[in-house]
């Protein structure tokens, strides 16, 4: 693995537990959004919604409805309603809607574990605040839904460490089996790919490319319950999960 000349990582990736951060406005967009020099707001991508929250400056507060990707690693903050933006060069404080983000982190990590419990190709997925789903290439429904739910919670209860590492794009090309999701390919162009690992050493149970935010240990997910397992065509089944609390 290599880590040569990496681009600076955004704050939401280096510290997914950061709830607020001072920053400076570097640009406005034609659509009415703004870009900061560093962002705790995760932009929509990989099935995970963009973060929401607030921007404070000079005694004013602006609600942020969502966040989308800009050029490179930039996050574009989208106001909840048309409003005057802090001017370019202004110093601001970002405040994340932490309760919503943390639920995204818990569900996202749980979906990685679901792909371990159901070791079939993933054809799609979605993450919400407290619920999510994966679509699998699964022609027949599972024989024992309750057993799958129990196994998912068993892995959560192991309280495994969740960490990340990096490989080059060439190394990923040499190991295509790392990519579980057929519908979403890892972002390319930066020369390297982030891998999210669950468990360490002999206890490692999952390793796959992912740019999203995750909890630090699986025990933080809490109990997860299965929802409907839906038929999405001859070859696909949708497995829905939700946080129990």
* pLDDT digits 0-9 by tens, 65-80: 999 999 888 999 999 9
Nearest to 58 by CA among 25, 101, 11: 25
Helices 145-157 + 98-117 axis angle, to 10: 120
Residue 93 tokens read as 């404080």
Domain 101-243 listed as CATH 3.30.980.10 = yes
| Class (C level, CATH) for 11-96 | mainly beta
What pLDDT, on the 0 to 100 scale, is given for residue 183? 58
Q: Mean pLDDT for the chain?
A: 91
* pLDDT digits 0-9 by tens, 108-132: 999 999 999 999 999 999 999 999 9
- Pair 169, 193: CB distance under 8 Å: yes
- Pair 118, 136: CB distance under 8 Å: yes
Pairing of β 34-36 and β 20-28: antiparallel
Percent of the chain with pLDDT over 90: 73
* pLDDT digits 0-9 by tens, 138-176: 999 898 999 999 999 999 999 999 999 888 888 877 887
Per-residue pLDDT band at 184 (split at 50, 70, 90): low
Question: With DSSP H G I counted as helix, E B as strand and the rest as coil, what are the percentages for the chain, rounded to 5?
Answer: 20, 35, 40
Give the integer Cα–Cα distance in Å for 243 and 245: 5
The residue ranges of every structural domain in the chain are 11-96, 101-243
State yes or no: pLDDT of 105 exceeds 70.
yes
């Amino acid at each position: 693995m290599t880590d040569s000349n990496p681009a600076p990582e955004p704050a939401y990736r280096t510290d997914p537990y950061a709830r607020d951060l001072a920053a400076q406005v570097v640009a406005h967009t034609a659509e009415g959004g703004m870009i900061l020099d560093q962002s705790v707001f995760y932009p929509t991508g990989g099935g995970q919604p963009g973060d929401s929250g607030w921007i404070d400056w000079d005694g004013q507060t602006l609600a942020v409805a969502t966040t989308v990707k800009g050029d490179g690693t930039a996050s574009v903050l989208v106001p909840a309603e048309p409003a005057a933006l802090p001017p370019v060069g202004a110093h601001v404080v970002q405040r994340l809607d932490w309760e919503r983000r943390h639920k995204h982190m818990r569900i996202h990590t749980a979906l990685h574990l679901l792909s371990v419990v159901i070791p079939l190709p993933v054809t799609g997925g979605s993450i919400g605040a407290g619920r999510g789903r994966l679509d699998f290439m699964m022609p027949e429904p599972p024989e024992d839904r309750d057993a799958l739910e129990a196994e998912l919670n068993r892995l959560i209860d192991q309280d495994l460490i969740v960490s990340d590492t990096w490989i080059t794009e060439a190394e990923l090309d040499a190991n295509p089996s790392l990519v579980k999701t057929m519908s979403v390919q890892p972002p390319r162009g930066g020369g390297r790919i982030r891998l999210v690992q669950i468990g360490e050493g002999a206890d490692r149970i999952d390793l796959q490319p992912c740019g999203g935010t995750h909890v630090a240990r699986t025990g933080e997910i809490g109990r997860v319950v299965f929802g409907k397992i839906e038929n999405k065509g001859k070859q696909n089944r949708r497995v829905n999960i939700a946080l129990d609390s």
